[in-house]
Amino acid sequence: MADTHGQSHSSASKHAHATTAHHDAVDSWHDHSHDEKPQHAHAETVNSGMVLGVGVFLFVLIVVACVIVYAFYIGATTRTLEKRELATADAPAKVFREWKGQSLIRLESGGTLQVPAGEEGKTKNITLVPIKDAAKGVIAEYAGKATAGK
Protein backbone atom coordinates (compact mmCIF):
# COMPACT_ATOMS: atom_id res chain seq x y z
CA MET A 1 0.00 0.00 0.00
CA ALA A 2 1.48 3.31 -1.02
CA ASP A 3 0.65 6.65 0.52
CA THR A 4 0.79 10.03 -1.11
CA HIS A 5 4.53 10.38 -0.44
CA GLY A 6 5.38 7.18 -2.15
CA GLN A 7 6.31 5.28 1.02
CA SER A 8 4.83 1.96 1.86
CA HIS A 9 3.47 1.14 5.31
CA SER A 10 3.01 -2.21 6.88
CA SER A 11 0.39 -2.92 9.50
CA ALA A 12 3.08 -3.02 12.24
CA SER A 13 4.48 0.39 11.36
CA LYS A 14 1.08 2.05 11.49
CA HIS A 15 1.08 1.94 15.28
CA ALA A 16 4.74 2.66 15.85
CA HIS A 17 5.42 5.37 18.39
CA ALA A 18 6.94 8.44 16.77
CA THR A 19 9.75 10.01 18.80
CA THR A 20 12.58 12.25 17.89
CA ALA A 21 15.77 10.49 16.99
CA HIS A 22 17.91 12.52 19.42
CA HIS A 23 16.94 13.86 22.82
CA ASP A 24 18.20 17.17 24.19
CA ALA A 25 21.32 16.93 26.28
CA VAL A 26 20.77 16.73 30.04
CA ASP A 27 21.85 19.90 31.80
CA SER A 28 24.85 19.73 34.11
CA TRP A 29 22.79 19.95 37.31
CA HIS A 30 21.02 16.69 36.51
CA ASP A 31 24.04 14.97 35.04
CA HIS A 32 25.58 12.88 37.82
CA SER A 33 28.73 10.91 37.51
CA HIS A 34 28.81 7.16 38.06
CA ASP A 35 30.91 7.43 41.21
CA GLU A 36 28.35 9.64 43.00
CA LYS A 37 26.33 7.89 45.64
CA PRO A 38 22.54 7.76 45.15
CA GLN A 39 20.63 10.85 46.27
CA HIS A 40 17.51 10.79 48.37
CA ALA A 41 14.30 12.28 47.05
CA HIS A 42 14.19 15.91 48.08
CA ALA A 43 11.53 17.57 45.91
CA GLU A 44 8.79 15.08 46.72
CA THR A 45 8.81 15.60 50.50
CA VAL A 46 6.85 18.51 51.95
CA ASN A 47 7.03 19.95 55.45
CA SER A 48 3.38 19.37 56.41
CA GLY A 49 3.71 21.46 59.57
CA MET A 50 4.85 24.44 57.51
CA VAL A 51 2.01 23.99 55.02
CA LEU A 52 -0.53 23.76 57.85
CA GLY A 53 0.98 26.78 59.61
CA VAL A 54 0.88 28.92 56.48
CA GLY A 55 -2.71 27.81 55.79
CA VAL A 56 -3.88 28.67 59.30
CA PHE A 57 -2.02 32.01 59.19
CA LEU A 58 -3.64 32.95 55.88
CA PHE A 59 -7.08 31.93 57.17
CA VAL A 60 -6.67 34.09 60.29
CA LEU A 61 -5.34 36.95 58.17
CA ILE A 62 -8.40 36.82 55.91
CA VAL A 63 -10.80 36.67 58.86
CA VAL A 64 -9.09 39.65 60.55
CA ALA A 65 -9.18 41.62 57.29
CA CYS A 66 -12.91 40.89 56.91
CA VAL A 67 -13.62 41.98 60.50
CA ILE A 68 -11.66 45.23 59.99
CA VAL A 69 -13.50 46.01 56.76
CA TYR A 70 -16.86 45.20 58.40
CA ALA A 71 -16.09 47.40 61.43
CA PHE A 72 -14.99 50.26 59.18
CA TYR A 73 -18.16 49.93 57.09
CA ILE A 74 -20.45 49.91 60.15
CA GLY A 75 -18.62 52.89 61.68
CA ALA A 76 -18.73 54.91 58.47
CA THR A 77 -22.40 54.10 57.90
CA THR A 78 -23.32 55.02 61.47
CA ARG A 79 -21.47 58.35 61.26
CA THR A 80 -23.07 59.17 57.91
CA LEU A 81 -26.59 58.38 59.15
CA GLU A 82 -26.05 60.40 62.33
CA LYS A 83 -24.91 63.41 60.30
CA ARG A 84 -27.99 63.13 58.08
CA GLU A 85 -30.37 62.74 61.04
CA LEU A 86 -28.96 65.77 62.84
CA ALA A 87 -28.50 67.95 59.74
CA THR A 88 -31.48 70.29 60.33
CA ALA A 89 -32.66 72.03 63.49
CA ASP A 90 -36.07 70.32 63.43
CA ALA A 91 -34.77 66.86 62.52
CA PRO A 92 -36.74 64.18 64.40
CA ALA A 93 -33.60 62.63 65.88
CA LYS A 94 -32.42 65.99 67.20
CA VAL A 95 -35.82 66.81 68.71
CA PHE A 96 -35.99 63.37 70.34
CA ARG A 97 -32.51 63.68 71.82
CA GLU A 98 -33.34 67.05 73.34
CA TRP A 99 -36.65 65.76 74.70
CA LYS A 100 -34.96 62.66 76.15
CA GLY A 101 -32.24 64.76 77.78
CA GLN A 102 -34.83 67.06 79.36
CA SER A 103 -36.90 64.14 80.58
CA LEU A 104 -33.91 62.45 82.20
CA ILE A 105 -33.04 65.64 84.06
CA ARG A 106 -36.64 66.09 85.21
CA LEU A 107 -36.91 62.43 86.30
CA GLU A 108 -34.12 63.06 88.76
CA SER A 109 -35.33 66.43 90.02
CA GLY A 110 -39.08 66.47 89.34
CA GLY A 111 -41.05 69.20 87.54
CA THR A 112 -43.15 69.41 84.41
CA LEU A 113 -42.28 68.20 80.98
CA GLN A 114 -43.84 69.04 77.63
CA VAL A 115 -44.34 66.01 75.40
CA PRO A 116 -45.94 65.66 71.95
CA ALA A 117 -49.68 65.08 72.22
CA GLY A 118 -50.12 63.06 69.04
CA GLU A 119 -51.37 65.85 66.79
CA GLU A 120 -48.97 67.95 64.77
CA GLY A 121 -47.71 70.87 66.85
CA LYS A 122 -49.71 69.93 69.99
CA THR A 123 -48.04 69.23 73.32
CA LYS A 124 -49.20 68.27 76.77
CA ASN A 125 -47.64 68.83 80.17
CA ILE A 126 -46.67 65.92 82.39
CA THR A 127 -45.76 66.44 86.02
CA LEU A 128 -42.82 64.34 87.03
CA VAL A 129 -42.16 63.36 90.62
CA PRO A 130 -38.82 61.96 91.78
CA ILE A 131 -39.04 58.19 92.16
CA LYS A 132 -38.38 58.28 95.93
CA ASP A 133 -41.29 60.68 96.51
CA ALA A 134 -43.56 58.64 94.17
CA ALA A 135 -42.73 55.43 96.07
CA LYS A 136 -43.53 57.10 99.42
CA GLY A 137 -46.86 58.34 98.02
CA VAL A 138 -47.85 54.89 96.71
CA ILE A 139 -46.92 53.25 100.03
CA ALA A 140 -48.93 55.82 101.95
CA GLU A 141 -51.91 55.36 99.63
CA TYR A 142 -51.90 51.56 100.01
CA ALA A 143 -51.36 51.84 103.76
CA GLY A 144 -54.40 54.13 103.98
CA LYS A 145 -56.52 51.67 101.97
CA ALA A 146 -55.38 48.77 104.13
CA THR A 147 -56.34 50.52 107.42
CA ALA A 148 -59.62 51.78 105.96
CA GLY A 149 -60.65 48.24 104.98
CA LYS A 150 -60.41 46.90 108.56
pLDDT at 96: 81
Kind and range of the H or E run holding 84 = helix 48-85
The reported pLDDT for the residue numbered 42 is 64
**Domain-located, residue 51:** yes
Do 86 and 79 contact (CB within 8 A), yes or no? no
Same domain for 118 and 62, yes or no, is no
pLDDT 10s digits, 63-87 = 999 999 999 999 999 999 888 877 7
Q: For the whole model, what pTM was predicted?
A: 0.37
Distance CA 108, CA 125 (A): 17
Same domain, 102 and 136: yes
Q: Do 102 and 132 fall within a single domain? A: yes
Q: At which of 34, 64, 85 does a domain end?
A: 85
Whether 97 and 78 share a structural domain: no
The band of 95, judged by pLDDT with boundaries at 50, 70 and 90, is confident
Query: Is 7 inside a domain boundary?
Result: no
Q: Which amino acid is at 59?
A: F
Report the distance separating Cα 147 and Cα 137, nearest Å.
15
Residue 92 contacts by C-beta under 8 Å, 6 or more apart in sequence? 85
Range of the domain at 101: 89-150
State mean pLDDT over 110-129.
Answer: 77
Confidence category of residue 29, pLDDT binned at 50, 70, 90: low
Q: Is 5 part of a structural domain of the chain?
A: no
Are residues 107 and 81 part of one domain?
A: no
In a domain, 56, yes or no: yes
Residues 66 and 94 in one domain: no
- Dihedrals φ, ψ of 115, to 5°? -125, 155
What is the distance of C-alpha 109 from the center of its chain?
A: 44
Task: Supply the pLDDT for residue 56.
Answer: 98
* Number of compact structural domains in the chain: 2
144 & 109 share domain: yes
Do the strands 123-128 and 111-116 form a parallel or antiparallel pair, or are they unpaired? antiparallel
Mean pLDDT, the chain, integer? 77
For the beta carbon of residue 87, count every other beta carbon within 10 angstroms: 10
Residue 63 lies in a domain: yes
Flag whether pLDDT at 15 surpasses 70: no
Angle between helices 92-109 and 48-85 (to 10 degrees): 90
Answer yes or no: do 96 and 149 share one domain.
Answer: yes
Distance CA(143)–CA(145), nearest Å, equals 5
pLDDT digits (tens, 9 = 90+) for 35-49: 777 777 666 677 889
Residues 107 and 126 in one domain: yes
For residues 63 and 21, the model is more confident at 63
- The answer as to whether 103 is a domain residue is yes
